[in-house]
């Protein structure tokens, strides 16, 4: 058994709405064998991993997987369940798994936590360990030491999972329906889309004042600013030498605190200092750690409190209790610490709600203990003098107890510091009591620190008291009044026409004043400018658009490849367009049949939000059938049909029932909404439509019109916006016309049978096939049968053919694809002679030499850039003059 390949699908996918890892597992000698054929296998597996007994599997209840083990199941399926159980054992809770036959092996699909970095390879390593365990059991060499083998994977999981604060903010955002993306393994979250995008790093937001953060990080500057504003702070000062520290100590009295000027998380904070020697030792300890200056201040008496402020409001308060253990009269302090650390809530650093306890021998000596001492039953032993959670402290929620005086003081402090989110540390006798009226002079209680990016875990999971929805308060501050944080998204999928429809839709939205982000096969466009030239139809490109704060709506061409390899680049869209469905890309990425292809493309329709709009092609049988799929039929979506047939029975029924459709009728693109018909644009004015001869251009325009209307454009805006689209400039390589020496050259990206037939139909309508030459190249990553179908479409549509080869052979041998095409053409039409050359630069002149004045040469290309360079070198002229277009209209069979 071996894992041949893996891939992560980060967004919604054909398996699950959440991220998954897909691995191709080759079973080798285990192929075709089942568990019941291996005596003792099931018993040993359940003995090693007893948690498998709770797995449901197909029966829908606990014990379902055990039933399958006893009655026989394939080992790919077993490996899936073992990997899921191993994930649970390291605290990585996932539930979904699926094993699908993909001969000669299986595709094993396993859910991944939504914010897990895709490059951490935790899921992959768990699956490899699962495969090893299964093989070891079969071979009789299974090791029971699974816990030890999981240690490095568990450590990586703990180090890459989001901490409590980040996880809580992400969860609060998702509860609100806000889109969330975690950046790698950082605590940085991108929340919202486009112009609503916000950045949050732990409890820092993009609205947090950088000046406020710097002030809070400088404890001396914080003291001075607050003291100058009459806020009660401990008397004290800054020292850069031991003698200066002692002078301040003598002035403020004991007990004193010595701490670093720029310290954090309670590190090197020395409390309860009562003698000059203790102060000197604390100073030396801090300086030896690299800090140049220390603060010496009077230690306020009372309890230690943390008040969390969000946008000037108190949202939570907790009493912080120093790390401690309670004696039982039997166990030593070190044993009590070990027992406490078994609590699953405790972890290293900030990864869990509590931090693991450690022993500070110096602290124990100060209170008269050693780690081997056995404290009396019920006796508390304080392991730390400070109450920071990062040193193992605990918390008690006191939010309802906060006195108005304390609330007002904290509001003032947050405002003085300029922090939208602040953790204010206070020492008070009781947070429920009023502040002493003479507090500024008395120096007995007050503010001891202010923290930017305060940890939220003490409020999320207090050791005592009710948890507080502090992350929700942060979300309310970032997105008030129920804002969704989203921009409208149009997602366009199908076999042909996607790029043109995307460009038309984006153009119309831009004409109406929107700042549009657009992804297509040739690049990413932000507000009309090309930001990146690439095949940008996958999830990464979608994320570029959705993450740009200058964009207020998105139009995404969404192709099959990116969806299968990485999942969708968004969680849901407002408008989904399915153009048409015909054979293409079969045999790739596990998509072997049209049923497989339809299943993939249907995801775009399924992920249109409730209340959103689905735009479907009424002229395509497979598209029509999408509406009976369970996840689409049961959803609440607005349905818009588009059709070139004004008398389509489906459209008629839909309109009679009060629906809306977009049709070609009486020479116009027409909107039919119930009994109301609205002319949008004469078909002769459709950009790139060749006076109406290019019926596929009319279909594309109808789909784009429907999408634009669903996005809120008025019917009166559609015609002018469509009519202003410059097809040559804004849609290069799609029905683009040139002229050279009295011969027209028609450039189009026709690379499957349906597209080739559509272009052939256009040629027949304007020039007649007897006046056409085709220069053809086809991508080598298609199956032989699909290439043969394309060849037959070429043979049926053209009388003279030149074949050439893509520069990217996509795994094929030189000359292999042209030879398949030539052979199929010869079989289809023996009288048609196909000339073969090597490159586009050779093919264009050869095709021109075959043509006569008035003929057309159809150029099917691999990449538009190199083809346009060839035409420019030859001196071809783009046909843009109105006079020449008018001449084409005069002969068109409209």
How much is the pLDDT for 173? 96
CA distances to 94, 199, 543, 546 from 18, in Å: 11, 22, 16, 18
Q: How far apart are CA 857 and CA 746, in angstroms?
A: 6
Quote the DSSP letter at residue 807.
S
Token pair listed for 210: 């950088």
- Own/partner pairs, 663-667, CB within 8 angstroms, 24+ separation: 663/702, 664/695, 664/698, 664/699, 664/702, 667/692, 667/894
Q: Which two tokens stand for residue 733?
A: 């390589």
What pLDDT does residue 442 have? 45
Q: In this predicted structure, what is the pLDDT of residue 648?
A: 94
Mean pLDDT (whole number) for 28-55: 91
**pLDDT of the residue at 344:** 79
The DSSP element (H or E) to which 670 belongs, if any, is strand 668-673
Q: What tokens appear for 443 in the block? A: 């120096």
**pLDDT by residue (tens digit) across 302-324?**
899 999 999 999 999 999 987 78
C-alpha angle 214-220-221 in degrees, rounded to nearest 5: 45
Whose structure tokens read 């119930």?
A: 674
Mean pLDDT of the chain: 90
Burial per residue of 601-618, b for 16 or more beta-carbon CB atoms within 10 angstroms, e otherwise: bbbbbbbbbeebbbbbbb
**Predicted local distance difference test score (pLDDT) of residue 593:** 86
Say if residue 58's pLDDT is above 80: no
Residue 617 phi, psi dihedral angles, 5° rounding: -85, 110
Give φ, ψ of 575 to 5 degrees: -135, 130
Span 242-298, pLDDT tens digits: 999 999 999 999 999 999 999 887 788 888 899 999 999 999 999 999 999 999 999
> What pLDDT score was predicted for residue 890?
54
**What is the residue-wise DSSP string for 434-487?**
PPPTTHHHH-SSEEEEEESS---HHHHS-SBS----HHHHHHHHHS-TT-----
In the chain, the domains with their CATH numbers are 2-161 (no CATH), 235-298 (3.30.1490.20), 323-383 (no CATH), 489-729 (3.40.1190.10), 733-891 (3.90.190.20)
For residue 889, is pLDDT > 60?
no
Q: Residue 387: its pLDDT value, please?
A: 66
Dihedral, CA of residue 255, residue 258, residue 259 and residue 260, to nearest 10: 160
Mean pLDDT of 547-571: 94
Residue 829: is it exposed, middle or buried by C-beta count within 10 angstroms (0-12/13-18/19+)? middle
Least confident of 140-149, 231-240, 441-450, 666-675: 441-450
Does the pLDDT value for residue 594 go beyond 90? Answer: no
Residue 441 in this model has a pLDDT that exceeds 70 = no
Is residue 52 a contact partner of residue 82, using CB atoms and an 8 Å limit? yes
- Nearest 10 degrees: CA dihedral of 838, 533, 697, 734? -20
For tokens 């149009």, the residue is 490
Containing 772, the helix (H) or strand (E) segment is strand 772-776
Helix (H) or strand (E) holding 200: strand 198-201
Sheet containing strand 743-748, strands side by side: 834-836, 800-803, 772-776, 856-860, 743-748, 734-740, 877-878
CB contact at 8 A, 135 and 127: no
Terminal CA-CA length for the chain:
62
pLDDT on residue 264: 81
Half-sphere exposure of 807 (CA within 13 A, CB side): 10
Taking only the tens place, the pLDDT of each residue in 77-86 is 999 999 999 9
pLDDT in tens, 156-208: 999 999 999 999 999 999 999 999 999 999 999 999 999 999 999 999 999 99
Residue 59 corresponds to which tokens in the numbers above? 């029966």
Model-wide pTM > 0.75: yes
Phi, psi of 487, deg, nearest 5: -115, 155
Evaluate if residue 439 carries a pLDDT over 60.
no
Averaging pLDDT over each range in 140-144, 395-399, 688-692, which range is the top one?
395-399
Model pLDDT for residues 327-369, shown as the tens digit of each residue: 888 888 888 888 888 887 777 766 666 778 888 777 778 777 8
Q: What pLDDT score does 219 carry? A: 95
* Residue 103, number of CB atoms within 10 A of its CB: 7
Measured between alpha carbons, how far is 202 from 349 in angstroms, rounded to an integer?
A: 14
For residue range 707-718, list pLDDT tens digits in order.
999 999 999 999
The percent of the chain in helix, strand and coil, each rounded to the nearest 5, is 40, 25, 35
Percent of the chain's residues with pLDDT above 90: 70
Q: What confidence score (pLDDT) does residue 378 get?
A: 82
In SS3 terms, 472-524 reads as HHHHHHHCCCCCCCCCCEEEEECCCCHHHHHHHHHHHHHHCCCCEEEEECCEE
Measuring CA to CA, how many Å separate 726 from each of 53, 77, 858? 64, 54, 21
- Confidence band for 782, pLDDT divided at 50, 70 and 90: confident
Q: What is the pLDDT of residue 102?
A: 81
């Amino acid at each position: 058994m071996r894992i041949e390949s893996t891939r992560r699908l980060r967004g919604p996918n054909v398996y699950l709405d959440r991220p998954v890892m897909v691995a191709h597992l080759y079973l080798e000698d285990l192929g075709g064998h089942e568990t019941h054929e291996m005596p003792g296998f099931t018993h040993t597996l359940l003995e090693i991993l007893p948690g498998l007994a709770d797995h449901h599997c197909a029966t829908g209840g606990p014990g379902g997987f055990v039933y399958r083990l006893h009655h026989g199941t394939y080992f790919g399926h077993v490996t899936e369940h073992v990997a899921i159980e191993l994930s649970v054992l390291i605290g990585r809770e996932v539930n979904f798994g699926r094993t699908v036959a993909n001969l000669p092996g299986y595709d094993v699909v396993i859910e991944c936590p939504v914010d897990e970095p895709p490059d951490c390879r935790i899921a992959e390593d768990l699956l490899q360990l699962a495969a090893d365990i299964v093989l070891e059991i079969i071979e009789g060499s299974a090791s029971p030491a699974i816990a030890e083998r999981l240690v490095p994977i568990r450590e990586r999981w703990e180090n890459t999972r989001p901490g409590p604060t980040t996880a809580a903010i992400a969860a609060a955002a998702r509860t609100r329906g806000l889109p969330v993306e975690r950046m790698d393994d950082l605590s940085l979250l991108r929340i919202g889309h486009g112009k609503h995008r916000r950045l949050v790093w732990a409890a820092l937001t993009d609205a947090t004042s950088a000046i406020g953060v710097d002030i809070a990080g400088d404890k001396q500057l914080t003291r001075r600013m607050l003291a100058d504003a009459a806020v009660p702070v401990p008397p004290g000062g800054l020292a850069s030498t031991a003698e200066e520290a002692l002078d301040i100590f003598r002035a403020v009295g004991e007990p004193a605190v010595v701490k670093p000027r720029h310290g954090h998380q309670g590190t090197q904070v020395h409390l309860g200092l009562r003698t000059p020697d203790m102060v000197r030792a604390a100073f030396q300890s801090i300086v030896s750690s690299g800090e140049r200056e220390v603060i010496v201040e009077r230690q306020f008496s009372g309890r230690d409190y943390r008040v969390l402020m969000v946008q000037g409001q108190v949202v939570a308060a907790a009493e912080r209790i120093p790390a401690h253990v309670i004696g039982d009269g039997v166990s030593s302090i070190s044993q009590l610490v070990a027992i406490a650390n078994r609590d699953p809530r405790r972890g290293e650093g900030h990864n869990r709600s509590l931090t693991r306890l450690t022993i500070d021998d110096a602290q124990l000596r100060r209170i008269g203990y050693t780690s081997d001492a056995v404290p009396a039953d019920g006796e508390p032993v304080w392991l730390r003098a400070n109450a920071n959670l990062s040193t193992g402290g605990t918390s008690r929620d006191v939010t309802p107890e906060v006195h108005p005086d304390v609330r007002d003081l904290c509001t003032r402090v947050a405002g003085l510091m300029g922090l939208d989110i602040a953790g204010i540390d206070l020492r008070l006798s009781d947070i429920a009591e009023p502040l002493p009226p003479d507090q500024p002079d008395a120096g007995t209680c007050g503010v001891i620190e202010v923290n930017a990016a305060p940890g939220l875990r003490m409020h999320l999971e207090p050791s005592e008291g009710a948890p507080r929805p502090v992350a929700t308060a942060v979300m309310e501050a970032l997105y008030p009044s129920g804002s969704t944080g989203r921009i409208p998204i149009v997602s366009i999928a199908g076999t042909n026409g996607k790029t043109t429809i995307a460009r038309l839709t984006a153009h119309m939205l831009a004409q109406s004043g929107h700042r549009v982000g657009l992804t297509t096969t040739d690049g990413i466009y932000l507000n009309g400018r090309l930001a990146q030239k690439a095949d940008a139809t996958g999830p990464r490109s979608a994320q570029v658009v959705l993450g740009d704060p200058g964009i207020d709506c998105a139009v995404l061409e969404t192709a099959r490849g990116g969806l299968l390899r990485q999942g969708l680049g968004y969680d849901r869209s407002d408008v989904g367009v399915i153009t048409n469905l015909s054979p293409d890309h079969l045999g790739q990425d596990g998509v072997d049949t049209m049923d497989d292809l339809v299943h993939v493309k249907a995801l775009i329709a399924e992920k249109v939000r409730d209340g959103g709009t689905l735009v479907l092609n009424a002229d395509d049988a497979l598209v029509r059938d999408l509406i009976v799929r369970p996840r689409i039929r049961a959803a609440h979506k607005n349905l818009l049909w588009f059709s070139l047939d004004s008398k389509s029975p489906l459209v008629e029924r839909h309109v009679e029932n009060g629906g809306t459709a977009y049709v070609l009728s009486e020479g116009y693109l027409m909107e039919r909404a119930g009994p109301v018909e609205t002319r949008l644009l004469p078909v002769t004015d459709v950009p790139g439509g060749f006076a109406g001869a290019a019926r596929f251009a009319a279909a594309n325009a109808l789909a784009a019109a429907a999408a634009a209307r669903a996005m809120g454009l008025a019917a009166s805006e559609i015609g002018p916006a469509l009519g202003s689209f410059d097809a040559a400039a804004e849609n290069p390589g799609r029905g683009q016309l040139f002229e050279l020496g009295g011969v027209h050259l028609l450039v189009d990206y026709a690379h499957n049978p349906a597209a080739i037939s559509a272009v052939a139909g256009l040629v027949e309508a304007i020039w007649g096939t007897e006046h056409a030459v085709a220069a053809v190249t086809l991508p080598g990553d298609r199956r032989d049968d699909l290439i043969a179908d394309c060849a037959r479409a070429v043979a049926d549509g053209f009388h003279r053919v030149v074949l050439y080869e893509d520069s990217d052979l996509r795994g094929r041998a030189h000359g292999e694809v042209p030879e398949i095409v030539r052979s199929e053409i010869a079989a289809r039409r023996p009288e048609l002679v196909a000339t073969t050359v090597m490159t586009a630069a050779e093919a264009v002149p050869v095709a021109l030499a075959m043509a006569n004045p008035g003929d057309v040469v159809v150029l099917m290309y691999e990449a538009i850039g190199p083809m346009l360079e060839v035409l420019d070198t030859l001196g071809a002229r783009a046909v843009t003059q109105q006079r020449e277009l008018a001449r084409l209209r005069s002969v068109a069979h409209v």
